[in-house]
Amino acid sequence: MPHRKEKTREAPVLDFERPIVELERRLDELKQRTRLSGEIRREIENLETRARELQQHIFSSLTPWQKVLLARHPARPYTLDYVSRLFTDFIELHGDRRFADDAAMIGGIGFFEGVPILCLGQQKGRTIKEKLARNVGMAKPEGYRKAKRLMDMAARFGKPVICFLDTPGAFPGIDAEERGQAEAVAKNLEIMAGLPVPIIAVVIGEGGSGGALAIGVADRILMLEYSVYSVITPEGCASILFRSDARKADAAEAMRMTAPDLARLGIIDEIIPEAPGGAHRNFDLTARNLAAALRRHLADLLPLPPSLLKDLRYQKYRRMGVFVEPGGVVS
């Protein structure tokens, strides 16, 4: 009986990406022809130029909501995609030693360009089976307690911590609440504030609420170009403030959740350029850009003594935020 060839699934395409993808498909069709005449070669060159110009035009004027869609793109690289490209000899560590191992939270040790590090990050999963197993990156208390256990270990051995933030938020289910979800998140904030080793947090996709912040209290906070970082999802904000899910795009704009907005507000330290068209178009190029940033920030942080490191971290978070006092005084 002949072996049946499986169909390869194409990556989903967002509406604003469609014109670019259609041009690229036309290019692929032309390039697959065995004999390319001079006229076809000229058409290919014209189409390549047009595709680059169209991509630059579309991505230079993305709305905040479109960036949210890019941050959630199902083909976007996840934590383990970066781990395999950035770290060598990575060994994943499991379990919180109290209840279970949470597959939504990845943790392990490895080397970044010869420097031993601890890596933490949320993992969403791609297939239906993986998404169910990893709870779409929404960790439960055991996930945050696993992260705490590993951060304590990094502190004991003096190893820097690199965290990848990519979650809609901490899991809000009854079982998570019964096991102390709020306490687990709050404990991580406390631990990270006083950790005596360098911490770098990178928002690689959707940095949502306390679920992201629980591994996001860091000396340096980086964001990929089309990632988002906020206290709530645009849908949640729209339902609370506007009483309408239809206004999620308005909420995304009002929340100032994109990388350029957060850089202007002093919340993050650097925006990492993604591959043209988004990280999902070229995992390797985006990972190389991220590696360059990690290299620079680790070089700055590693020589600092623990006391200075903690003091600078404290000052960093004290400077965040602007509020108006009675009488109109801005602090």
**pLDDT per residue over 152-197, tens digit each?**
999 999 999 999 999 999 999 999 999 999 999 999 999 999 999 9
pLDDT of 199 strictly over 50: yes
pLDDT level of residue 26 (50, 70, 90 thresholds): confident
- One of 3.10.129.10, 3.40.50.300, 3.90.226.10, 3.40.50.150 is the CATH number of 67-321, namely 3.90.226.10
Tens-digit pLDDT profile for residues 231-273: 989 998 999 988 888 899 999 999 999 999 999 999 999 999 9
Give the single-character DSSP code of 35. S
Given a contact cutoff of 8 angstroms between Cβ atoms, the answer to whether 144 and 184 are in contact is yes
Rounded Cα distance between 86 and 80, Å, is 10
- The CA–CA distances, whole Å, from 80 to 1, 100, 165, 214, 325 equal 38, 20, 12, 19, 45
The answer to whether 92 touches 106, Cβ cutoff 8 Å, is yes
Contact (CB, 8 A) for 255 and 294 = no
63-105 per-position pLDDT tens digit: 999 999 999 999 999 999 999 999 999 999 999 999 999 999 9
What is the distance between the alpha carbons of residues 220 and 200, in angstroms, rounded to a whole number? 5
| Closest among 198, 148, 232 to 309, alpha carbons compared | 198
Q: Mean of the pLDDT values across residues 116-121? A: 97
First to last CA, the chain: 76
Averaged pLDDT for residues 285-305: 97
Please compute the mean of the pLDDT values over residues 98-121 and round it to a whole number.
96
**Is pLDDT at 34 greater than 70 in this prediction?**
no
Residue 8: per-residue pLDDT: 37
Would you state the torsion angle of the CA atoms of residues 292, 293, 297, 298, taken in this order, to the nearest 10 degrees?
-50
Identify the pLDDT of residue 14.
80
Sign of CA dihedral 160, 226, 13, 209: positive
Degrees, nearest 5: CA angle 219-222-228: 130
Average pLDDT over residues 277-299: 95
Q: What percent of the chain has pLDDT over 70?
A: 90
**Distance between CA atoms of residues 141 and 211, nearest Å:** 10
CA atoms of 25 and 94, how far apart (whole Å): 43
- The burial of 132, by beta-carbon neighbours within 10 Å (0-12 exposed, 13-18 middle, 19 or more buried), is given as exposed
The pLDDT assigned to 322 comes to 66
2 compared with 259, residue with greater pLDDT: 259
- C-alpha to C-alpha distance for 116 and 200, rounded to whole angstroms: 14
Side chain identity at residue 238, one-letter code:
A
pLDDT in tens, 47-74: 777 777 777 778 888 999 999 999 999 9
Tell me the mean pLDDT in the region 135-149: 95
For residue 325, what pLDDT band results from cuts at 50, 70 and 90?
low
- Which distant-in-sequence residues (6+ apart) come within 8 Å of 229 by Cβ? 165, 203, 207, 212, 223, 257, 259, 262, 267, 268
Residues 6+ apart with CB under 8 A from 191: 148, 151, 152
| pLDDT of 42 strictly over 50 | yes
Lowest mean pLDDT among 39-48, 69-78, 308-317: 39-48
What pLDDT was estimated at residue 209? 87
> What pLDDT is stored for residue 50 in this prediction?
76
The pLDDT of 127-133, averaged and rounded, is 93
Q: Output the pLDDT for position 1.
A: 40
Question: Would the pLDDT of 330 be above 90?
Answer: no
